Amino acid sequence: MIVEILDKCRGGAAPLTSMGDPVLRRPADPVTGQIDTTLLKELSELMLATMHATHGVGLAAPQIGIPLRIAVIGDTAEVPEDVAAARKRIPVPDYTIINPMYTAERDSVGFYEGCLSLPGYQAVVPRPETVHAEYEDLDGVRHVERITGWPARIFQHETDHLVGTIYIDKALTRSLASNEMYKSRWAQPTPAQAAEALGFPLPQHIR
């Protein structure tokens, strides 16, 4: 399957799986040497190209139909200073996470999120602000890191994909908004105004 997808999409981006595809709802298989390092790196490159082409900040292998525990992350988008400060959003160079896992370290905060496999909508998702993260890189080196702020949110979002969880499963559904509505009304640094108008709760310390 991987070789077929790489051959078909070489030099471009892979098509995305959409909400409702079973591959997004099944726990992905751990990467345990069933594909060689060269193929793994080619897959990572395709996933990064797909992430960039779709203007995402992360992409999990099941989102291109491959049920393996691998994801890519990268966020260099320019955002207003007040948004960056409120969301603790800092630039994140592209990197690959293999067999990732995380545990929460701090209380949850809620911010709007979207997903490439559920296009057109965003919703507020409460997530731990800081996590203890573990993953392997493309060379098989195990990393143990403490990640906080927006980078921690991306790591959680992508790792969740690998166990069959999509952000909407954890979202405050009363916050759900079309991308157009979000951009025109709820793109403030925090979702406090949206929470008041739409009637959903937020952790007190981000108000």
- Catalytic positions are 158
As a whole number of angstroms, the distance between CA 85 and CA 145 comes to 22
Three-state SS annotation for 87-149: HCCCCEEEEEEEEEEEEECCCEEEEEECCCCCCCEEEEEEEECEEEEEEECCCCCEEEEEEEC
Angstrom CA distances, 66 to 2, 117, 127, 157, stand at 7, 14, 26, 17
